[in-house]
Amino acid sequence: MRHPLSRMDFTLRTQARSWALAALISSIAPNALAQSTTGAVVPIDLERLRFTPAATDSMLVDTGHVLPQGAYRLMLMAGYERGILLLKGSDGQERSILDYRVSGWLAGAWSPTDRLELSARLPVIIHQGGNGADTLVGVSAPDAFGLGTPELGARYALLRREDGAPVFLSLGLDVGTPGGTADAFGRQQGWAGLQVAPRVAVSRELGPVVLGASAGVRIRSTENEPGRDYGTELEQGIVVSTRGKGLRGEIALQAAESLVEPDFALELLGGVRLPVGGGFEAFAIAGHGFTDIPGTPSIRAAAGIAWAHQPPAREDVCRSGRSHTPEQCPALDDDGDTVPNGQDRCPLEAGPPENDGCPDTDADGDGVVDREDACPNEAGVAAHRGCPEPKQEPTPPPPAPEPAPQAPAPELAPQAPTTEAPTRLPTEHHVQFPVGQSTLSDSERRNLDAIADYLKANPGVSLRIEGHTDNTGPEELNRTLSQDRADAVRQYLIQQGIESSRLTAKGYGPAQPIASNDTPEGRSANRRVEFVTSTTGE
């Protein structure tokens, strides 16, 4: 039997333990409530900074203006962000799980072919940290170091200002590849971190500034975070940037609208850049986020250096007042006849569109232009499409009455025959050509057939075939054209059986006109091939 005092002592000690346990529970109850969230935190890609490694017009927003062929740009950048990921516990208090992050980027862009630009971006999480993760159930403090999502990109220019388009316009595609560190919030957990981001971009210069905009969608895995989902988003950006080769500035607004949650991220950014010589450029950007969406920092700052290689600039000879050939500028209309050079058979001589830009000619001078003249080498009348009027046979007179028989008259002495006009030789013909061409027409082939028959009948005759042009266009081009015309005639005569040794061809360009080049008729007469004959022994 125990002593009553011993029983009382046991009771007091039991009550003391109960009071101590109650005091301990009451002291940790608030923390226990704070440790609960609506679910576990899944790693996601928290980087929202979008920048263009090529930086043709803007560093921050794609403007549709790709690098010229052969150009490339390499850049190294370091940045600081604050207020990146906030989580609220069941106690209603927010904890900055990622309060700050120091990152670096190695990026570059290159244009291997005309209109196409390729790019790559490698983000590195140098150091990051926060507080409060250890007070939430299911949340672990993120790794302090890791890699972000590496990206590969491509842009293709659909429209370019240098080609005469009203705007720059391009299609782009960025692909986020596996490789980021999930425990450092450097990539999405699902799809092995893969992301796909197609977009379209457009811009236009307005005096000293460029206005640009881009819109696209970032397709990625959906992650269920406490109180919200995080995944595919629409991305937009607008920018105003200055132009020139010295100090340049820009201001941009980047936005992202979630397609899995009613969230909207918004960040205002500004940047400056300054060439420092040798192809190097120093730059800096800063920004402020207006929402608490994960990845949108309250403040951001970054700086870096870039080196760019530009191929020798092609002189824009098609600008007003600059010397050029029609072939160099097919979109221009050098002769002002509404037919562009690239579609104009006579780009330096005005003519109607229905004649492919060449002037109407009237080789036979009958007032009917050659393209409407059924007989272009024979004068006629309009009523017969430029052909002569058909000859009407005269009505024979009525037969005279037979005369009465007369006595035979004395025979008269024969008279000398009347001298006829000399016959025109076939080699006196001038072969005519359309403007800018060395092609023989069917009628000219018939004339050359007559010349070939003449040469066959006179084997001792040789020909020097001389080609000529009018003075329209560059002299060197006309000299080549005249030689082509002479060669075309010589080759045709050889095909008709004339020995090549009897034929020589020489082009003189516009140097030997036979008429004034100030009129269409004179220019038509000067576009000719003529013949100089010689006989064996001369």
Global model pTM greater than 0.85: no
Residues 6+ apart with CB under 8 A from 510: 468, 469, 470, 471, 475, 478, 482, 517, 526
* Dihedral of alpha carbons 367, 368, 371, 375, sign: negative
In the chain, CATH 3.30.1330.60 sits at 426-535
Residue ranges of alpha helices (H) inside 130-259 are: none
pLDDT tier, 1 (very low <50, low <70, confident <90, very high otherwise): very low
CB neighbour burial string for 193-225, b if at least 16 within 10 angstroms, e if fewer: bbbebebebbbbeeeebbbbbbebbbbbbbbeb
The pair of three-digit structure tokens given for residue 29, joined into one six-digit string: 């109850």
Residue 495, amino acid: Q
- For 521, list phi and psi in degrees, rounded to 5: -65, -40
Q: What is the pLDDT of residues 200-223, one digit of tens each?
A: 999 999 989 999 999 999 999 998
Residue ranges of alpha helices (H) inside 411-497 are: 442-457, 475-495
Output DSSP code: residue 153. E
Q: What pLDDT score was predicted for residue 8?
A: 42
CATH number among 3.40.50.2300, 2.40.160.40, 3.40.50.720, 3.30.70.890, domain 33-309? 2.40.160.40
The pair of three-digit structure tokens given for residue 107, joined into one six-digit string: 């990026």
CATH architecture classification, 426-535? 2-Layer Sandwich (3.30)
Which residue in this structure is represented by tokens 């760019």? 308
Q: To which H or E segment does residue 12 belong?
A: helix 4-34
Please compute, for residue 461, the number of CA atoms within 13 A of its CA located in the half-sphere on the CB side: 17
d(CA 394, CA 501): 50
Q: What is the pLDDT of residues 493-521, one digit of tens each?
A: 999 999 998 999 999 999 999 998 888 88
Tell me whether strands 233-242 and 248-258 are parallel, antiparallel or unpaired.
antiparallel
DSSP, collapsed to helix, strand or coil, labels residue 302 as strand
Q: What is the pLDDT of residues 336-374, one digit of tens each?
A: 888 888 888 888 888 888 788 888 888 778 878 877 777
Q: What is the pLDDT of residues 238-270, one digit of tens each?
A: 999 999 889 999 999 999 999 998 889 999 999
The pair of three-digit structure tokens given for residue 194, joined into one six-digit string: 């893969």
Neighbours of 180 (CB within 10 A): 25
The pair of three-digit structure tokens given for residue 193, joined into one six-digit string: 């971190």
Burial class (CB in 10 A: 0-12, 13-18, 19+), 240: middle
pLDDT tier, 433 (very low <50, low <70, confident <90, very high otherwise): confident
The pair of three-digit structure tokens given for residue 44, joined into one six-digit string: 């996601």
Give me the chain's average pLDDT, please: 84
Output DSSP code: residue 367. S
Q: Is-contact 115 47, C-beta < 8 A?
A: no
Using CA atoms in the order 380, 381, 383, 387, what is the torsion angle rounded to 10 degrees? 10
In the chain, CATH 2.40.160.40 sits at 33-309
Q: What is the pLDDT of residues 374-422, one digit of tens each?
A: 787 778 877 777 788 776 655 566 666 666 555 555 554 455 554 444 5
